[in-house]
Each structure stands twice: as C-alpha cells, then as structure tokens.
Structure 1
Amino acid sequence: MKSIYLDAQASSIVVVEKQGSVCLQFKGTHLWGAGEHFDRVEFLSHPRRNEVEEVFTQQGVHTYLPQPLFLSDEYAFLVQSDRVFTVESQGSDDGIQLTLQGAFSPEDSLVIASGTPKKTLGELLSYLGGVVLPPSWVFGEWASANRWKSEEDVRAVMDAAALHGFPITVLVVEAWSDESTFYTFSEEQGLWPDPRKLIEEMDTQGVHLVLWQIPVYKALEEGRRDIRHEQDLAYVREHGLAVLNKDGTPYTIPEGNWFAGSMVPDFTNPETRKWWFSKRKYLMDMGVSGFKTDGGECILTDDVLFHDGSTGKEMRNRYPQSYIEAYQEFIGPERITFSRAGYLGAQGSMLFWAGDQLSQWSELQAVLNAGLSAAISGIFWWGFDIGGFAGPMPSGELYLRSYELGSLVPVMQWHSEPVGGQFSEVMKSEDRINDRSPWHMAERYGEEVLAITKRYSTMRKSLIWYLVREATVSREMLQPMMRPMFYAFGSAYADIYDQYLLGSSLLVAPILEKGQRARAVTLPDGSWYDLFTGMTMSGPCTVERGYSLGQIGIFINTEDAEFERLKDSFAGLC
C-alpha cells in the first residue's frame, strides 16, 4: 500500500506492511472517526469493520456508512481503498498501534496528515475534493412517513401541519410509486390525479417534495404481474444493464435480505444510467426537489462483475456511493439526495440519515453517537428519525426528548413505518397507525406534546438563517456542523460525548435517559449564555442544570457577532 504524507511531520509515523495487514505506530491516546457508528464515538481498543451493512434497528457495531478515515490527537489517516477490512487498535505508554487487516489492492493508498483533529480532518477532506453545500431549504423541518400513498394523503398532512402551525419545508413520500418500477406514480384510480399540479401548489407554500427510490429491478411478489415491469426486466437482461455473476447471468440479492431475488442496476455502466434516468426525467420536469436514495447495501458477494471491471470485492462498499453519485449527476446541485448508506466520497454527496431505529431510549443515545462519529468522518449534513421509525410507538417523554434533540441537528425529520408495512411482521405495534407526527402523538399523550413540539418547530424555522450561515462556513472551512467537544476544544474534553456544538456558537446538551430531569453541562473557555436561566457564565466550568420536559441544554456563545439575533431565534422556547 502506497503511503502519501501531507506534511513532513506525518512522515514520522512508523508503517509496517505485511501480507494482508498494515500496522501503524504513532503518538496519541485517542481514536475517532471510521464513519457513522452507533455504539460509541471514540473507538481505541474497540474493533471496527470497514464494511457497508444493512442492519434493521439496534445497529450496534455495524454501520450503513463506514468511512476509512481515522483521527487521533496528533495524526489522521485516510485509507483509499474500497475493500472490506478490519481495524484493530490498542494503546500503551508508547502511543497507539493501529492495525488494518484485509485483502488490499495494489492500487490502494494510505494518506497521513499531522496536527489536531480540526486541522487534519480539514486537510483530508480537502484532499478528497471538499464538501458539497446543500440548498438552504434543507435546513427547515422535514415530514415523512412510509404510509402516504396518495395525493389525498399528502394534502392531509400539509393541511394538518398548517392547522397546527408546523412550518414544514420538505415532505418525503415513500409509497408514491407503482411498487414495481419505482419510477411511475401509482396508477390505481384516484390516488394521484394530478401530481404536477400538487407539486406546483406545494411550491407556492414553500414545501419541497422528495420521492423515495431503491436501486433494484424488483422481483415481484408471488402471483403478482406487471407487464411494463416485465418488459423492463427483459430489456435490462438483453442490454446488460444489471450487475452480473461470473457466468454472465444477472446477480440477484440473496434470500433473507431486503428485496431478495431482485436484480441490481450497474451504475458503472453509462447505458444503465441513461436508461434508468430516462424513466425518471419527467419527475424533474414536474418539479420534484430530490430523492430519498434508500438502500444500496445489496452487493453481498465478492463474485460479481461490473461494467467498469470492478468486482464485489470493491463494490460491496463502493456500490451505494456509485448509486448516490449517479443520482447527483442526474439531478444537479439544486436538488438533493437523502441517503442511508454510502462510502468514501460521501463528503461530496448531499444528505444522510441514520437509518432505522426503534422507539427506545437506547436508540436515542445511539443516534447521537452516530451523528457525532459521522460528523468527524466528514459527513456534515445528517439527521435521524425523530421518535424512532419502527415497532411500538414511543412514550410521550421519549418523543419529546427526541424532538428536542432532532430540532438541533443539521437535518430535522420525523418519520415512521406503517402498521402492515414491510417490517410489520418482525416489529409489531399495538397501534392501527404508526403515525409519529406531532399532532398524532398529541392525540395519544395530550396537548402538552403539541405545544412543546410546535415551539421547537417554530424555533427551527427561526434558526434557519444561523444553520445556513454555519453550513456555508462548514463547507468553506471543512469543519462539521455537529462538533464533538474534543474536536472544538481539544483532547481535554475527550470524555464528553453527550453534548456538542452545532456550528460555532451553539452548545447543545440533550436529555437522553428516561426520567432524567437534570444533568451536568461542561462549558469550555469563553462566555456562554444559558437560554433557560438567562445567566451568562465564563468557562471553563461545569454546571448542574434542571431540564423539565420541553427543555434542552442550549448555551449561546456571547462572542458571536450576531449574538442578539441568535438569542432572539430561541425566544419562543423560554
């Protein structure tokens, strides 16, 4: 593996390469990065596996979004490889030993930089080509559900949002298509009488429509037929537009996996892209604002072939990124992709969310780990499903704590899986409708839920200017919007992962445990305004604060040039 040193100090790293492994020895006491991870942010002495995996809820050590980028106190490393490999690490008085084990390619390289995490992350992201800036409308509030399947459903949620005073800016519709081709609005009579007119009306209300996608040529359910889809499959086979087995037959997703039996489009083939997106161009002409590019974790064997000469060894990780990049090329910079899986290069893609979680306290804690680990791996524009996605509904307390946190991450979205949907048999709910909208949750738990969530949604709208400002700075300076304490203030804060900076001037300290009504907050050097007490304090110090339902730790840097405007953005919370 070739070593590339970005500065003279980086060359002091000891690199020992053997068959199937690369061992690095360097000074340091911490390790961070490696992509989006749910179990923990720092991973020294905790193994990592550099592999895209689809795991439904309770992801633990698994990840949809690995990144072979590792930060330490004084050094950082970028492994330019698409291969699956493991990461083992251990610390000692002499520093850290980091061992990478896998079947690396001769073309793979190791990029090494020296300096603080802030400096080295920026250098490695610059080396990769920087970070793309999404359009400003993505920083509003998103509404999503898997059960909306008609124009009537879309109008109903928009009417409900307007009635209750929730300023939605993005509506994600998953069940819009024929569930065969995934490029045609469902043609069942009356479901979508005039989607173009609907989109025009949404546009006048400042609401952007995002449609769900999946990279498969679907194997239909037993007994179901769709003539147009059958014609598509015949064309795909005849023209070689699918990923192939070594014998030249189309690869199909193995049993036991999502969309089992389906063929997979080969986006390394220009003809695949041309055909695939010709079917979706009319959606752009209608004014669709982007696509929820779900899935992509579908290459599950090394023994497949791609048009560009790649095999499953590379594409197990690379495939979801090739899928996203194909969509980005098609839609252009003014529209967005919203993805679950990805790989190296995701920094140049648009938005990501944390995948599927249960409505449990442990999952809320896990998504904060995921957001912070993703951020320091170069994934800046990230969010999670407020209140969870699947299974029994969240308690009122969990929903509100999740809503508080979800309003203060880069992408704010609530979403849910329907009863009778794709996971209903493995994750049952007692409810007829798994609607995690604020107004439905208020029907279950009382008007207090509606009042509190409305305050946070209104705050989010008032805060968009700040989020856009900070996103612009993040892109220019190559600094994440969600910043762990150690990243912003040094390794002295390396044991704090339950609070973070959102941009340069907001310190957020969420409540993450059932029944919790108080917590300690560590304030770094500087002058900090405590939103809920109105006190201004000088750090560094640790303070104890009480937070009833509807309150989250929010501290504003008083040295921000627009401090008064920023403080006023939160006026409705107090």
Structure 2
Amino acid sequence: MRFTNGYWLDREGFTVQRGRQVHDLQVDAEQSEVRAYAPVRPVHTRGDTLNNPQLTVTYQAVADGVIRVRVQNHRGVRTPEPRFEIAADAQYRGVITEGADGAVSLAAGDLELRIARGDEWKADFVSAGRELTSSLERSIAHVIAPDGKRYMHEQLTLRPGESIYGLGERFGAFVKNGQSVDIWNEDGGTTSEQAYKNVPLYLSSRGYGVFVEDTGGVSFEVGSEMTTRVQFSVEGQSLTYLLIDGPTPKDVLRRYTGLTGRPPLVPEWSYGLWLSTSFTTDYDEATVMSFIDGMEQRGIPLSVFHFDCFWMRGFTWSDFIWDPATFPDPEGMIRRLHERGLKVCVWINPYIAQKSYLFDEGMELGYLVRTTSGDVWQTDLWQAGMALVDFTNPEAVRWYRGKLEALLDMGVDCFKTDFGERIPVRDISWHDGADPEKMHNYYTHLFNRTVFDLLVQRRGEGDAVLFARSATAGGQQYPVHWGGDNDSSLPSMGETLRGGLSLALSGFGYWSHDIGGFEGNPDPLVFKRWLAFGLLSSHSRLHGSSSYRVPWAFDDEAVAVARRFTLLKQQLVPYLQDMARQAHEHGTPLLRPMVLEFPEDRTCHAIDTQYMLGDSLLVAPVFDPQGEVEFYLPEGRWTSVFDGTVETGGRWLRQRHGVMTLPLYVRDGEDLGLDIAAIDG
C-alpha cells in the first residue's frame, strides 16, 4: 500500500506520522532488549514534548542471527489472533554494548543492531562488520487513512544492485524489485499477480531476510513507492518483523525454517508419478483401470492414482461419500489398486455444500463458520450454499478428522487438500474469537495441519503426504504443495516455474505442478516439453481440467517421452531422498533457484528459466517451440546426463533439443547413479 504522492507529498487525506529522531534509548540486558523512542516531530525544547506523538521501537535478540523489531504507536492496543507459531528460544540472550557516546549495539551472533541517540532516526543492521540494511529518516510511520483506518509501516534500505526474492508463490518476475506485492491468498490462477501461497518473507541478494510476523494482509512496496527502499505495512498500530542474518541465502532459510518449522520427510513412493482422473472428465472404475493398464502396457511406472472432485456426487462437496453410481465398490476398488502396487489419493476441501449431509450436522453442532449475526456463512460460489468448517474450534477439527478417518479405514493413502483461499473477512465470527482479517491467510494453515496431523497419526512420521494448493508461512511443514491452475501453454510453463522458484525462497522444501497445464487441452509439443520439466521436479503429477493427461491421448512420441523421464526419475529417487534430508534438517529446498546454490555468482541472481534440482543437478526446461534453449553453467565442470559431454562453466550456452532431451547437467563429476542406456534399453 502506498502512502505518498511522490517524495514530497503524502497521499491526499492521509496523515503520515513519521518517527523523526532517536530521542531516547532504554536498555534491558535481562530481556536482551533495546527500546528506542521516536517522536514524530524533533524535540529541541521541553515544549516540543507536548502534543507530539511518539513511536516506540523495540529490538530484541531472539535467536542466533535473528533480531525481532516491533514498531508501535499506541502500545495498549492488543495484537489480534491468530499469530504465527515462532519457535524462538525464550532463554536466548544477545549481547548489548553501550558506548560512551550514547550509542547502543545489540548483537545476536554475527548480526548486530546499531543505534544512537540523535537528531535523525537511524538504525543500522550489520553482520560481521558488513552493512546489510538500515531504517532511516521517513522509514517508520503511523498512518491515519481518510476512512479512519490505522496503519504502521517500516522501510529498509536497498543498495544499488541488490535484488529481492520470495514473498511466497509469485508467478510474475522472479526478482521482486519494482513490484507491489499484497500478502493475501486468492484463487487467481497462475497468470495474475494473485497467489495461492502468500508468505511475508523476502530474501535479499546481500545475504539477509525479513519476515513480517503478521498472518493478515501485509503490503510490500519493493523499491516501488521509494526506489531505494523496501516498504512493508500492516493495518493496526503495531508492526513486528524479524531481521534474519545469512550470510548466504541457505543460511537465511535455515534460520527462518528453524523458527517457523522445517519440511518433514515424505514417503519414498510419493516421488513416483501420480496420475489423476483430471477434474470434470467422465470416469468410473473401468476408466481408472484402463488408464493403469495403459501405463503398464507402455512401460510407464505409476506410483499414485488420484481421484479428483467427482469421486463424490456433484453439489455435495464435500461429504466424503463415494458416488455409488460411479464407484459402487470403493473399498474393493482401492484394494485392487493396492494389489497393483499403487497408492490412492482423493480430493478434498474444507468447504461443505448445503446438499451435503455434513451441512446439517455441522450447523447443528456449531462447527461451521458463522457471521456476527449468528447465521452460518454461506455462498453459492463453487458449491451451492457452501459453508466453511471452523478449524478454530477443536471439536470441529475432531469432527472433520473423523470423517477423513473413514476414508483411511477404506485404504485411502493420502489427500489432495484443495482450496482454502477464498475466506471471508466481513461480518465473520470465528469460534475462538480470531480476527477475521488475520484468519484469511491463516485458515489454510489450520486446514492442512488438521489433515496432515491425522496422516502422521495414522501412517507415522515420514509416511504422511498431502497434495496441497494454498499455504502461508509455516505451511512447509505440511507438504507437498503444487502450483495451482495454469494454462496449457509454454509461457504458462515459464510462469509456473517462476512460482516454484519464489516459493522455494519462502521456505518450502517440495513442489509440484500440473504437467501439461491445467486449463485447456495442451498441444502435444507443450505436453512433451512439460513432461520433462514435471518429472524433473520433486513431485510429479499428470492432471488436467476437462481433458485426460494420459500420454497416448497425445501421440506415440508423448508415450516415449513419458516413459523415458519417468524411468529417469525412478533412478533419481535415492538422490531426491538425500536432498529431502537437507530440507528436513536445514530447510534447503529440493528445487533451488540458481541464486540459492550460487549466491556469489552475480549472473545467477536474476535467472528464472532454469534451476538446480538439489545441489548437483542443473535443469533447463525448454520453453521454445523450436527447441532453442539458452542456459547458464556456473563455474566448474558440468557433465550432460544424456550424452556425457563435459562443459566448462562460467558461461552461457545455446542448444537445440528435441523432446527426448533438455539441458540436464551433473555438477563437478558427481555420481547420481544415472544410467540412460538402461532406461533406453
């Protein structure tokens, strides 16, 4: 959100009260805390202390390399729930040093805050003597909007050449400089500025990160309102953020996920190929078995079969009852799928249609979200008379889990947890009194946690997995996430990758997407190019909207591509499991933007058309219809997986590829156990 009209003027009707100076400092060594007072007008005489609002900024060392900053106007205004669960060590103590000149330093490991009393507002963050960023004049402010709403903002400096990344799953430009980004979950597809997974965390190429501790709408102006600063603002009278030290992007993610939760290990079978019924296509058990037979006959290994929405009857989503007209013997069918060596996934969401028997049950028990007038909140968008399960109610959580347990008893292995973005905020009353605006993004966190925790309880640690669409900060604890509704086109393949790269720099360890694109019927060439890309992601799913995604629906060559890359991925599973352990132990994602793996190489800072899969495998998807692809190899020796040629890095290469190959290089002679001859043989 922007509050200014150029540099000199504020927006018409807005009152912007900026902290103008460091008037006073208080030190609490026991709490590892420094408190700064910043009046909105300079204080030179006693009279200047009258009728002069004053902002309070509290700095606290909460972990090694992490300093919490809280900017407040009226401190008596409570911070509403829910809040992110931050696993900070309450016993951690930083080091406070007071200088003879009145300057104060607060150190959390190598990360250090430096601030001094003076005529201007200035707070510097440095690491091991290296300047990271600063809060300067005009940076901190309390804003009164024309409608009376209150906002708080902070601005942190950007240096020339500094790039900003992350902020959740964003499908636009990978480098966020110049963008306005609102942290607000929406079901907007992959072609817009909206996102399913919004995370108020950004990483800087200078080796630090900033995480805003607010579950609601956070507005970022990344070098956009003021070109030399990143501004972030929230509604209310308090703004809290964490300044997270590196020095590398991996270090930032390690510290961040140490506070918000790390990705768990997922079962080995989840890395195999998932095949879906697709969304609105016609299918029954005979259709399902024909797909499975077809894949087996063509030598394409399957791991999971997924039943999308219409495993239930229309107008009843979700009631968790198999459509008897289509699947008269679901338990027998699941048993037959298991006998074929397959796992079974079914689609669910947290919405309850009015026709569902669960609607009356949930309404009577008080388990559905209500309005402030006491009515059940309902809409006709998606399903007629649809209501929401209130996951702030522990009894509602147990009720919902109980319905899913019946499916697990049948033999269902995992769930696709769809939706969770369009959560209302007007006139809503949550069971636990949560603030509706703060619940909008956080709802999906409660939904996915409810389902994932059930799977852990029933299946055990390391054998639980979801296929989730929406998320917020901390959602990396409930994998896997896929990239939402994309188009069946090569440009959409590119925007899908950009979404994955941004999500990876937001703490998410695993990632997938709809191979071939969700909307439309992909051209065979698009499908083949996407097969290679999709099967070189951590998780791989064939899924569409109104058309099937079995390879023979396209042509024989698509079958050959699917077979080759599925077999290649089978060989990669041990390597992916090793990379998953890095995600689980350190927060390093499997899909790695080039800047994450090579932060010292400036060329890698803006690359968004290729990636590292783990630490040793470079992948450059082909987005050009003619097969032209330009990609960058960092310093070192790189060996082509497909023909064994060795290239020296530190340069760009241009190649032309047919659909059976793409630039796929192993770093510095690493042995990943890949044998293309065995695949082709």
Q: Please point out which of 159, 166, 172 is paired with 2:306.
A: 172
Change (3 A) 1:385 1:30: same
Change (3 A) 1:69 1:169: same
Deviation of 1:58 after TM superposition, in Å, equals 4.4
Partner in structure 2 of residue 454 of structure 1: 563
**Structure 1 contact 459–570 (Cα < 8 Å) conserved:** no
Deviation of 1:497 after TM superposition, in Å, equals 1.4
User: Are 2:545 and 1:436 aligned?
Assistant: no
- Once residues 283 and 451 of structure 2 are traced to their aligned partners in structure 1, the CA distance between those partners, rounded to angstroms, is 23
User: Are 2:422 and 1:298 aligned?
Assistant: yes
- Once residues 382 and 435 of structure 2 are traced to their aligned partners in structure 1, the CA distance between those partners, rounded to angstroms, is 21
What does the per-residue CA deviation read over 1:87-119, in whole Å, with 9 as the maximum and x for residues that have no partner?
A: 002189x99411112214748443433422121
User: Are 2:134 and 1:14 aligned?
Assistant: yes
Partner in structure 2 of residue 389 of structure 1: 518
Q: What pairs with 1:390-539 in structure 2 (closer than 5 Å)?
A: 390-391=519-520, 393-418=521-546, 434-442=547-555, 447-490=556-599, 491-492=601-602, 493-515=604-626, 517-539=627-649
Deviation of 1:182 after TM superposition, in Å, equals 2.9
What does the per-residue CA deviation read over 1:399-425, in whole Å, with 9 as the maximum and x for residues that have no partner?
A: 11111111101111111112xxxxxxx
**Structure 1 contact 387–402 (Cα < 8 Å) conserved:** yes
Partner in structure 1 of residue 88 of structure 2: none
Higher Cα Rg, which structure: 2
More contact order relative to length (CA 8 Å, sep ≥ 6): 1
CA RMSD between the two structures: 2.3
Partner in structure 2 of residue 545 of structure 1: 655
Deviation of 1:71 after TM superposition, in Å, equals 0.2
Partner in structure 2 of residue 430 of structure 1: none
**Structure 2 contact 531–561 (Cα < 8 Å) conserved:** no
User: Are 2:194 and 1:66 aligned?
Assistant: no
Change (3 A) 1:137 1:126: same
Deviation of 1:337 after TM superposition, in Å, equals 1.5
Deviation of 1:10 after TM superposition, in Å, equals 5.0
Deviation of 1:520 after TM superposition, in Å, equals 2.5
**Structure 1 contact 183–280 (Cα < 8 Å) conserved:** no
- Once residues 407 and 127 of structure 1 are traced to their aligned partners in structure 2, the CA distance between those partners, rounded to angstroms, is 31
Larger CA deviation: 404-413 vs 279-288: 279-288
User: Are 2:164 and 1:31 aligned?
Assistant: yes
Structure 1, unpaired ranges of 5+:
221-228, 419-433
- Once residues 149 and 489 of structure 1 are traced to their aligned partners in structure 2, the CA distance between those partners, rounded to angstroms, is 46
Deviation of 1:555 after TM superposition, in Å, equals 0.4
User: Are 2:372 and 1:246 aligned?
Assistant: yes
User: Are 2:652 and 1:555 aligned?
Assistant: no
Partner in structure 2 of residue 264 of structure 1: 388
Partner in structure 1 of residue 35 of structure 2: none
User: Are 2:491 and 1:355 aligned?
Assistant: no
Deviation of 1:29 after TM superposition, in Å, equals 0.7
Deviation of 1:302 after TM superposition, in Å, equals 3.9
Q: Please point out which of 240, 255, 264 is paired with 1:132.
A: 264
Deviation of 1:507 after TM superposition, in Å, equals 0.4
**In structure 1, the residue corresponding to 2:175 is in which secondary structure?**
coil
Q: What pairs with 1:4-403 in structure 2 (closer than 5 Å)?
A: 4-5=60-61, 6=66, 7=108, 8-11=110-113, 12=125, 13-15=133-135, 16-19=139-142, 20=151, 21-25=153-157, 27=159, 29-55=162-188, 57-73=189-205, 74-90=207-223, 96-104=228-236, 106=238, 108-144=240-276, 145-146=278-279, 147=281, 149-174=283-308, 175-179=310-314, 180=316, 182-189=318-325, 191-220=326-355, 229-230=356-357, 232-253=358-379, 257-259=381-383, 261-332=385-456, 333=461, 334-391=463-520, 393-403=521-531
- Once residues 105 and 274 of structure 1 are traced to their aligned partners in structure 2, the CA distance between those partners, rounded to angstroms, is 36
Larger CA deviation: 281-290 vs 178-187: 178-187
How many residues are paired up? 536
TM-score (norm 1): 0.88
Deviation of 1:125 after TM superposition, in Å, equals 1.0
- Once residues 585 and 203 of structure 2 are traced to their aligned partners in structure 1, the CA distance between those partners, rounded to angstroms, is 20
Structure 2, unpaired ranges of 5+:
1-56, 67-107, 114-124, 126-132, 143-150
Query: What letter corresponds to residue 466 of structure 1 in structure 2?
Result: Y
What does the per-residue CA deviation read over 1:43-99, in whole Å, with 9 as the maximum and x for residues that have no partner?
A: 0111111010011x443211000111100022201111111121002189x994111
Runs of 4 or more above 6 Å deviation = none
- Once residues 630 and 359 of structure 2 are traced to their aligned partners in structure 1, the CA distance between those partners, rounded to angstroms, is 58
- Once residues 678 and 635 of structure 2 are traced to their aligned partners in structure 1, the CA distance between those partners, rounded to angstroms, is 25
Change (3 A) 1:389 1:550: same
- Once residues 290 and 152 of structure 1 are traced to their aligned partners in structure 2, the CA distance between those partners, rounded to angstroms, is 22
What does the per-residue CA deviation read over 1:510-542, in whole Å, with 9 as the maximum and x for residues that have no partner?
A: 111222x23222111222102334211232232
- Once residues 180 and 265 of structure 2 are traced to their aligned partners in structure 1, the CA distance between those partners, rounded to angstroms, is 32
Partner in structure 2 of residue 421 of structure 1: none
Over the matched positions of the two proteins, sequence identity in percent amounts to: 26
